[in-house]
A and B are shown apart, each in its own frame.
Chain A
Amino acid sequence: MLGLGEGAAGKFVSQRTQEQVRRVTVILTALLVAIFVSIPVYVMIAIAFQPSVTTFRGGQVNLLFDSFTFDNFVLLFTETGTPRYLFNSFVVTASSTLLATALSVAAGYGLTRFEFRGKTMAARAVLFAYMFSPIVLAIPLYVIFFSLGMLDSYFALTLALTGISAPFGIWLMWQYFQTVPIALEESAWIRGASRTRTLWEVVLPVARPGTIATAIFSFSVAWNDFTMARVVMSQQEMYPITVGASLFLDRVSIGWSETMAAAVLMSLPPFAIALFLQNYLLQGFNVGGLE
């Protein structure tokens, strides 16, 4: 008497049928996910690229394109602080990505290559820090930046964002460097290359997928951040696009169309990165065990 799952593969249902069922299931799941992801994106695009009169004609939200316009974007750039917000976002995101990645690479290398007192503690503390919600850190950071007179500066926001993304980045690079064989470095040393030269010419190129994954992660944390910017920046001209765009909803002169146009602008950089660097992202996170 065979229990469930005890039969040889293909005994009750042929291998061929099993294979077909599997394929159909995969396709259906993919389709479902695609629908859930693409409908909101479609709505955003439809509203952003239609004149607002068309969108709301007849008291309905009209989501089928019958006219196409960049007016919403023009309005954003001429009537609102969007250019300034975008600029702020770029500055802060770029510096935080750079800082967090450099920190993660250095820390990851150190954690895997050197023995020092309290190493395990340090590593655990890093992972523990990642468990905090950003809002937990917000008030203490505000107090710190306030006493240092650093509120309303790019530098302060850069540090705050790095504080959020670096723990995970460090953990990721720590895992990644464990997969880079030390024999590679040793072989370079024996061939005469200094530790620094080995780091640049051997270790970093080999660790590139992990580094890029870390950079992408810090980028997305910084680019999508709302909380920290809200806490650190109090002057409107220092707001990044996330905080800036949220203000639109409070204003009568700016409606859904412009807000969705701003959303499109916000989505473009992450979209471009996902498009061009997805291979690196997958490789990097794979090693971290986060497929």
Chain B
Amino acid sequence: MAQPIRLDDVRKEYHTAGASHVAVDDLSLEIPEGSFTTIVGPSGCGKTTTLRMIAGLETPTSGTIHFGDRDVTDVRPQDRNAAMVFQSIALYPHMTVRENIAYGLKVAGVPKAKRDAAVDEAAETLQIREQLEKMPAELSGGQQQRVALGSAFVQDPDVLLLDEPMSDLDAKLKAELRVEVQRLHKEMDATMVYVTHDQTEAMTMSDHVLLLEEGRLAQFAPPSDLFDRPVSQYVAEFIGTPSTNTLPATVEVGGDAPTIVGEQFEIPAPSDLFADRIGDSVTVGIRPQYLSPDGGDHHVRVIVDVVEQLGTEFVVHGTSVDGTHINVVDERVGDAGPDDELSVGFDGGDAFVFDKDGETICHGDVLVAARSASPSQ
């Protein structure tokens, strides 16, 4: 039975040689039962530590972890009915693939005939039937990871934890296994938690994303929310490739409403949010995908530095006149060459506005509403 996972004020500190380091800082959230949640963030943000605490391999310094109604904070990893796939794959080198997959069942005392049946079924799903009698060392990296997934699959866990299982694989295998992992999620009655540093994996596979920043929760939401409604500049910049462009601006008095004034643009802003911010510096965030050579209400001139081709699209890396780094993703910018000047525009509705601490003040929809409310523009 899939179980929701609830973390309440979970904190993990490490003490080494007198210095203490907070790996996870008062994390509280509830991962819905049966969901596919990815924990994502840069190296050292505490995502693996969080996963290991859910697995029971680390004990929180404070706070509690519940699987459903059951408090598992101090329950041994053996007794949590979880399964885990490790970054290092961790197949037992002295056992055949079949024995590897069946090991958990053997420990649980399942008779051999039933074990074999379960292994055969898992092997069928993961297309590793031919490999069952081989030793792990004889398999390719992708096959080894399939075996690891199979081991988790046969155990019928409540909670399936995956710790960067694909970080050592090449891009093509990653794409294949991504599909495999999602198929397993459909077939299994388990809450899946997947740790990755690759935000593309997080955005494409999961239905919830937990983005961590130095041990703290940055945002926990469905992928589309992280993309369209980031709660901070950190989230906006971490999610999406290339990274969100950030343009410095200040809030000024413009006519009857506050206006966000940048080097090359002026965006009318709603009074209720900006009236008491007059004179403050803010940051306008705009995704490279929402910048295009024609169209848009606001314009930015970009001096082209490098152009990359990505299939049908092109990525322009450049700088604006004030030196801010700007990326543009569009199909129509392929002709641009280094040192060309390009004028690109964006709609206020696609922009984010962050205060000087990096917290989101508002998203584009509020800016658009503000404009339609002030007919002077």
A residues neighboring B (CB under 8 Å):
181, 183-184, 186-194, 197, 202, 205-206, 208
Contact = CB atoms under 8 A, between A and B. Distances in A.
Contacts of A187: 84, 86, 90, 151
A208 B103 CA distance: 20
Contacts of B78: 189-190, 192-194
Given A181-B90, A191-B103, A206-B94, A186 B108 contact: no
B107 A205 contact: no
B83 interface: yes
A189 B80 CA distance: 10
B265 interface: no
Given A191-B107, A192-B78, A194-B78, A184 B92 contact: yes
Contacts, number: 57
A60 to B, nearest CB: 57
A286 B358 CA distance: 53
B155 interface: yes
A191 B157 CA distance: 9
Contact of B84 (A186, A192, A194, A206): A186
Contact of B92 (A190, A192, A202, A208): A202
A127 B290 CA distance: 64
Interface in B87-131: 87-88, 90, 92-94, 103-104, 107-108
Given A192-B79, A192-B104, 15 more contacts: A183-B88, A183-B90, A186-B55, A186-B57, A186-B90, A187-B84, A187-B86, A188-B107, A189-B76, A189-B78, A190-B80, A190-B83, A190-B84, A197-B107, A206-B93
Interface of B: 55-57, 76-80, 82-84, 86-88, 90, 92-94, 103-104, 107-108, 151, 155
B212 to A, nearest CB: 21
Contacts of B155: 191
Given A193-B78, A206-B93, A181 B88 contact: yes
Given A189-B77, A190-B55, A190-B77, A183 B108 contact: no
17 contacts: A181-B90, A184-B90, A186-B55, A186-B57, A187-B84, A189-B76, A189-B77, A190-B56, A190-B77, A190-B78, A190-B80, A192-B79, A192-B108, A193-B103, A197-B107, A202-B92, A206-B92
B77 A186 contact: yes
Contacts of A183: 86-88, 90
Contacts of A205: 92, 94
A114 B352 CA distance: 49
A194 B107 CA distance: 9
Interface of A is mostly: helix
Contacts of B56: 190
A188 B103 contact: yes
A191 B91 CA distance: 13
Nearest to A205: B94
A87 to B, nearest CB: 36
Given A186-B57, A186-B77, A197-B107, A191 B90 contact: no
A197 B76 CA distance: 15
Contacts of B80: 190
Contacts of A206: 92-94
Nearest to B93: A206
Contact of A190 (B82, B87, B93, B108): B82
Contacts of B79: 192
A185 B104 CA distance: 12
A189 B86 CA distance: 13
- 4 smallest A-B Cβ distances: which pairs? A191-B104, A183-B90, A205-B94, A187-B90
A202 B103 CA distance: 10
A7 B303 CA distance: 46
Contacts of A193: 78, 103, 107
Contacts of B107: 188, 191-193, 197
**Which residue among A189, A191, A202 has the maximum number of chain B CB atoms within 10 Å of its CB?**
A191
**Which residue among B78, B79, B88 has the maximum number of chain A CB atoms within 10 Å of its CB?**
B78
A186 B161 CA distance: 13
Nearest to B161: A190
A190 B104 CA distance: 8
A192 to B, nearest CB: 4
Contacts of B103: 188, 191, 193
A280 to B, nearest CB: 14
B355 to A, nearest CB: 43
A208 B92 CA distance: 13
Nearest to B90: A183
B106 to A, nearest CB: 9
Nearest to B78: A192
**Which residue among A187, A192, A197, A208 has the maximum number of chain B CB atoms within 10 Å of its CB?**
A187
A191 B84 CA distance: 8
Contacts of B92: 184, 188, 202, 205-206
Contacts of B86: 183, 186-187
A18 B305 CA distance: 49
